[in-house]
Amino acid sequence: MSVRVATWNVNSIVPRLPRVLDWLDSTAPDVLCLQELKNTTEAFPAEEIAARGYEIAAYGLGRWNGVAILSKIGLDDVVRGLPGEPGFDGRAEARAIGATCGGIRIWSVYVPNGREPENPHYAYKLTWLEKLRVLVAEELARDRPFAVLGDFNVAPADEDVWDISVFADSTHVTEPERAALKKLRDEGLSDVFPRPLKYEHPFTYWDYRGGNFPNNRGMRIDLVYANDAFAKAVTDSYVDRNARKGKGPSDHAPIVVDLER
């Protein structure tokens, strides 16, 4: 059975909805993980998406963050939030949602940005990543295909940013962030590395400012981490740069992964 799984930080689902619907029609993923919804669970535009045959599990608490999983192959055992996850500034944030889709355990995650290394949000990010690691270890103890997908807000290596010197004193590339990501992989996950369709390196995010996208000044911070049962079934994976083009795009492009189970 062929299965197509994708992940996309849409940077606000309501203004991006027409683009998301067109993309669902053209790309036809069986499962789509979404991040940065910027609305509540109740306000998620479910009707238009459900009309295309998707079951929907959304988790949003307001203006910032928010995650969802859309599935045409079943949507069972939904969990909203990481067990024991921290909040920030006394408030919970909607940054993780899990579900089982056609026998594949999927988590859609939107890791905190961190802002600057001196900012309390950075410590929150590291704590959040540790809670994600604990969850991953628990999920991997079960014998089934598993993947955690989404916007990790960490570039795993220097080559995952267009110019490491530009980011030398910034979040996304610091050693503690990368160490937290490595601990996650060391639990038993591999990086499903997407092939680029045009450039040598598959960036997934480009800032809106300064012509960054047409000049390919980007970062690879959207990731697909999978266990062996998932990774060995992968037949293709790519960054859909076309979804970053045109009028009113997200600043992220989707990653598409095809499996043969």
Contact present, 184 and 136 (Cβ < 8 Å): yes
* Residue 173 Cα distances to 43, 152, 181, 195, 256, angstroms: 34, 11, 11, 21, 24
Contact present, 34 and 8 (Cβ < 8 Å): yes
Q: Is 252 a catalytic residue?
A: yes
- CA 171 from centre of chain: 18
Q: Which amino acid is at 219?
A: M
* pLDDT exceeds 90 at position 218: yes
Q: Is 151 a catalytic residue?
A: yes
- Alpha-carbon distance of 229 to 80, in angstroms, equals 24
Average pLDDT over residues 174-179: 97
pLDDT value of residue 52: 97
252 carries a ligand binding annotation: yes
Q: Is 110 a catalytic residue?
A: yes
Q: Work out the mean pLDDT of the chain and round it to a whole number.
A: 95
* pLDDT exceeds 90 at position 198: no
93 carries a ligand binding annotation: no
> Taking the complete model, does pTM exceed 0.95, yes or no?
yes
| Angle, helix 175-186 to helix 120-140, in steps of 10 degrees | 10
**Which residues, listed in sequence order, are joined to residue 3 by a DSSP beta bridge?**
259
Catalytic residue among 30, 151, 160, 222: 151
* pLDDT exceeds 90 at position 228: yes
Contact present, 130 and 170 (Cβ < 8 Å): no
30 carries a ligand binding annotation: no
pLDDT value of residue 90: 84
pLDDT value of residue 192: 97
What's the burial of 132, exposed, middle or buried (CB within 10 Å: 0-12/13-18/19+)?
buried
pLDDT value of residue 31: 98
Q: How many CA atoms lie within 13 A of 145 on its CB side?
A: 18
Q: By three-state DSSP, how is residue 230 classified? A: helix
- CA 234 from centre of chain: 17
* Domain 2-260, CATH: 3.60.10.10
Better pLDDT: 92 or 126: 126
Task: For residue 203, count other CB atoms closer than 10 A to its CB.
Answer: 26
pLDDT value of residue 250: 98
Average pLDDT over residues 168-183: 94
What's the burial of 70, exposed, middle or buried (CB within 10 Å: 0-12/13-18/19+)?
buried
pLDDT digits (tens, 9 = 90+) for 56-85: 999 999 878 999 999 999 999 999 999 999
Average pLDDT over residues 232-254: 96
Strands 2-9, 31-35: parallel, antiparallel or unpaired by DSSP?
Answer: parallel
Catalytic residue among 54, 59, 110, 225: 110
Q: Among residues of the chain, what percentage have pLDDT more than 70? A: 100
pLDDT value of residue 163: 94
113 carries a ligand binding annotation: no
pLDDT value of residue 64: 83
